[in-house]
Amino acid sequence: MPELPELEVLKNFLEQRILNLKIQEVIVKKPLVFRCLLDSFRFALVGNKITQITRSGKFLVFKNSSNQFLIINLMLSGRLQYTEMRTKTNAVTCFQIRFENDQELRYLDQKLMGRIYLVTETELSTVPQFMELGLEPLSDDFSLMQLQDGLQRYQGMVKNTLRNQHFIAGIGNAYSDEILFHAGINPLRKSSDLSPEEVNRLYDSIKIVLKSSIKQIQENIGDDIHIENREFMKVHNRGGKPCLICGTKISELTPEGKLTNFCRHYQK
């Protein structure tokens, strides 16, 4: 599932390529992902331009020249592809937006779990979870004190606290593993049990891991923005492999059905 770093890179990539280009055609292949009328979707885009792209948590928001908002929640398997019109269409393509430069933006979703919304500014509150998002961890508004308060307020495993979109927006299963590994904190520990020194480390790790991941993705992504590459990760999805710090075999558990990887020796 794409998380904050992937989505931030996607936003930056598309800002450089599709802003203020006239949309010539919209092709819908799999209506199941839409949470709006298909005719409204086409009418809002064809002949218009995308004038702004923003990211809120795990949502990508495309504002058009008619002041409407196309909101995409990629969920588990949603991906965006930017390619030439002549490129062969993937079987899991749900829709295509064709621009005047003979390029197109495609939405791919193998499991059809993503959600596509089209709303006006006054209707943003109708998009599930959108208006309930917590703090953006890379913004100036996210402070050490807010992290301290949240860790006390949200009970349970510290990994789940980091993944709670009502508290911190954009961090999911993979990057919570990476952040906790960087901080040397066991993901199964209770949030409220962390010492002040551990909270300080966790705060620094959130910033460091997210920023460095964005940089890594930007350097390696090329034009294939629909292909997820997380080879730079140090612990997530490395169950059974040696810890890069101490050599201990990385543990792999699935508490609450979520894959969790960590080093039992290094992460206390």
* Angle, helices 196-220/144-153, rounded to nearest 10 degrees: 110
Q: What is the 3-state secondary structure (H, E, C) of the chain?
A: CCCHHHHHHHHHHHHHHHECCEEEEEEECCHHHECCCHHHHHHHHCCCEEEEEEEECCEEEEEECCCEEEEEECCCCEEEEEEECCCCCCCCEEEEEEECCCEEEEEEECCCCCEEEEEEHHHHHHCCCHHHCCECCCCCCCCHHHHHHHHHHCCCEHHHHHHCCCCECCCCHHHHHHHHHHHCCCCCCEHHHCCHHHHHHHHHHHHHHHHHHHHHHHHHCCCCCCCCCCCCCCCCCCCCCECCCCCCECEEECHHHCCEEECCCCCC
**Rounded (10°) CA dihedral 131, 133, 138, 144:** 120
Q: Position 110: which residue type?
A: Q
- Measured at the CA of 53, the angle between CA 52 and CA 59, to 5 degrees, comes to 145
Summarize pLDDT for 4-52 with one digit per residue, the tens.
999 999 999 999 999 999 999 999 999 999 999 999 999 999 999 999 9
Q: First-to-last CA distance in the chain? A: 27
pTM across the whole model: 0.96
**Could you tell me the two tokens for 212?**
């460095």
A 10 A CB-CB count for 12 gives 15
% of the chain with per-residue pLDDT over 90: 96
Cβ contacts of residue 43 below 8 Å, gap of 6+? none
Per CATH, is 4-131 categorized as 3.20.190.10?
yes
Indicate if the pLDDT at residue 248 is higher than 90: yes
A 10 A CB-CB count for 155 gives 11
* CB crowding 229-261: b at 16 or more within 10 Å, else e: ebeebbbbebeeeebeeeeeebbeeeeeebebb
Residues in the chain: 268
Indicate if the pLDDT at residue 257 is higher than 90: no
For 115-141, what is the mean pLDDT?
97
168 vs 209: CA distance, rounded Å: 15
Q: Where are the domains of the chain?
A: 4-131, 144-262
Assign 122 a pLDDT band (cuts: 50, 70, 90).
very high
Is the CA virtual torsion 107, 211, 160, 221 positive or negative? positive
Summarize pLDDT for 173-207 with one digit per residue, the tens.
999 999 999 999 999 999 999 999 999 999 999 99
What's the CATH fold of domain 144-262?
A: Helicase, Ruva Protein; domain 3 (1.10.8)
% of the chain with per-residue pLDDT over 70: 100
- Measured at the CA of 134, the angle between CA 131 and CA 140, to 5 degrees, comes to 120
Q: Which residue has the tokens 């460091």?
A: 208
Indicate if the pLDDT at residue 57 is higher than 90: yes
Summarize pLDDT for 222-246 with one digit per residue, the tens.
889 999 999 999 999 999 999 999 9
